Amino acid sequence: MAKKKDADKSAQNTDGNKQEKNGTNEDEEPNFDDPEGYVDNISDEDLLGDLLKQKPRESDGVESVVVVDGVPQVGPERIEKLSSVINKIFSKFGPIVNEYYPKNEQGHTKGYIFLEYSNPNHALEAVKTTNNYKLDKQHTFIVNLFTDFKKYEEIPDEWEPPEPQPYKDLGNLHYYMLEPDAYDQYFIITGNGSTVQVWQNSAPEPTKLEERARWSDTYIRWSPLGTYIATFHKKGVALWGGSSFVQITRFSHNGVQFLDFSPCEKYLVTYSPHVEDHPGDQKKLIVWDIRTGLEKRTFVPDGPAVWPIFRWSHDDKYFARIGEHMLSVYETPSFGLLDKKSIKIAGIRDFSWSPSDNVLAYWMAEDKDVPARVTLLEIPSRNEIRSKNLFNVADCKMHWQKSGDYLCVNVNRYTKITKKDKDIKYSGMYYNFEIFHMREKQIPVDSVEIKETIHAFAWEPIGSKFAIIHGEASNANVSFYGVKTGQAPILLKRFEKKACNSLFWAPSGQFIVLAGLRNIGGTLDFVDTNDFTIMNSSEHYSACDVEWDPTGRYVVTSVSFWKVKVDTGYWLWSFQGKILKRFNIDTFCALSWRPRLPTLLSVEQQNQIKKNLKKYSNQFESKDRMRLSKASKELIEKRARLLKEFAEYRSKQMEKWNELKPKRLALRNNVDTDELVSDKNNVDEEIVEFFIKEEKTIID
């Protein structure tokens, strides 16, 4: 017991010492207050950024509500019918989760209603589309967001003009067009997408203009006229331009994966298919104004989207998208529906714009006894300027000639149709081309029938010829047809048993490359279609792509690391099929030429230059000789400089060697072994012995 008391007393003394050392007492409460003068510089966003994004807002639940004015005033017996009409009009923008019809004392509607959508974007789309919608002669809808009422109440009575923004000089974004020798630019992607290089195709060697690592998170692309280069990032898209490729503007759109330029580069469309991965950002499809960087309108894609969702007219005045049994055409700069309503087309499958006129071509599938049909629609009048009925159609593909002179509809048809017990069975397949002559009166249509499978089709960009690959995949045939005014297409030439699956016309026409890409092995045939001579046949093994430069002077074949893991790189050819350079680059991914602006020369001026081309050929040849002589001079100067550097280096080393000679003699007992044999004139000699022959003599 005494030992236990001593132990307890010792423990108490130890605890007391600890408390004295810590300067605290068990009875005292701990103080968690900040010291005097302390400044908290950590915000709630830094600590709880992810949670604050999910914090409910006062406007939640109200942003999805729209107010529809101009609704018919009906009695209790007609409210159900009115509700079905309203739902039919407004439910196509998204699911309606709640609706409210205010009534007076007699039970009649008051002429306005409230609709709540499941998503604010659906409500915004409904307002933009249905505002001023004409229900009948007496009723026109006036549609607003519920939140707009508060916004309009807070408008100040006195208007203050906005402050003018300072002008930002971006320089000449088309500087590359002023290159005196018309050298084109191109970018290449290497390092499995991590590095981007911009090159100029100068002679005799290409010149590197820019190289940046991690310039884009996924991919890059040129704008249609070559003004900008677009890069993808997690938070949006950036456009770069000028001689130093500075950032021109950026567009914030989280998770963007696709973009599309309008043909005249006025507008940009971005698409983020997985907005659910970015809380608070519910905009999937956005149209931007490139010059101002402002968001013009957002859209909600219906069903599975095929990119590009929007297709633009040649002058940026209209863009359209296909829906279920309808075609929606929008106009700029208002970005509203043309005539405030979509075009109802039962069974529409596909459409395309003319590259030179505001004309739409679309085709609709067969429906029972109604045949399939291809229709040409003039915009904005919506007049049908031509249509063609088609029977036994499996599929259609539309191909416009670049100048808009011709439209070819590639029709896949069934050969046999059997009807048994109201069931229709199809067997066999054949193909034909419907050629629409767009510049002729009443737009006549000619047909070309092909019994074999069609693998590829391509119009001559400038001209009236088209080429097709048909037959068996291993030994396909290539046929060229010519189209003339007032005549049916004529077969011009057929190449039998060609190992090819792709057609690549030169931008200026006349020359074409017949390529066997990917699994065929990279066979290449360079053809002049004036007389259909094969200028050269060659091969780039495992080639994945063929790219003509904008002038049609050069063509590049490439092997991409994204498709093939060995022998990646690109080869540069002349338009005649002569190999000029081979660039073998590890982890080479892609190459793309910078587009050029359309020429300012008239057709007559271009034809005049073609006629007098021999007159200018001497100038071009003299320039080429000067480049070669310049290259030879540069090579000679480089070699002379290297030889001089080596002579200086050798002289320094000889001096050092002579300085160390006494040390070598001391180590070798004063025997000079540097010179094995020396004559009286101190001329070094070297004795070389070699075996000539061997003789044997027998002595008895």
Under DSSP, the state recorded for 218 is S
CATH number corresponding to 172-184+454-598: 2.130.10.10
Rounded Cα distance between 11 and 599, Å, is 99
Alpha-carbon gap, residue 99 to 653, rounded angstroms: 95
Residue 346: both structure tokens together: 């039962």
- pTM score: 0.71
Where does residue 363 fall: left (phi above 0), alpha (psi -120 to 50 degrees), or beta otherwise? beta
Domain 216-309 fold is N-terminal domain of TfIIb (2.20.25)
Task: Please name the CATH architecture into which domain 65-153 falls.
Answer: 2-Layer Sandwich (3.30)
For 596-613, the pLDDT digits (tens) are: 998 888 888 888 888 887
pLDDT score, position 204: 80
Helix axes 613-659, 603-611, angle to 10 degrees: 70
The confidence score (pLDDT) of residue 18 equals 43
What is the distance between the alpha carbons of residues 276 and 260, in angstroms, rounded to a whole number? 22
Distance CA 66, CA 99 (A): 10
Percent of the chain scored above 70 by pLDDT? Answer: 87
**Domain range annotation of the chain:** 65-153, 172-184+454-598, 216-309, 618-673
Provide the β-strand partners of residue 571.
557, 582
Cβ–Cβ < 8 Å for 300, 320:
no
Interval 99-126: pLDDT, tens: 999 998 888 999 999 999 988 888 888 8
196-206 core/surface letters (b: 16 or more CB in 10 A; e: else): bbbbbbeeeeb
The 8-class DSSP code of residue 518 comes to G
Residue range 395-421: average pLDDT? 84
pLDDT for 164: 86
The pLDDT of residue 684 is: 55
pLDDT digits over 446-483, tens only? Answer: 999 888 889 999 999 988 999 999 988 778 999 999 99
Give the pLDDT band of residue 401 (cuts 50, 70, 90).
very high
**pLDDT over 60 (residue 15):** no
CB 570 within 8 A of CB 556: yes
Average pLDDT, the chain: 85
**Of the candidates 147, 166, 185, the residue with the CA atom closest to the CA atom of residue 61:** 147
Sign of CA dihedral 15, 20, 24, 25: positive
Stretch 41-53: mean pLDDT, rounded?
72
At residue 24, does pLDDT exceed 50? no
Longest Cα pair distance anywhere in the chain, in angstroms? 155
SS3 455: strand
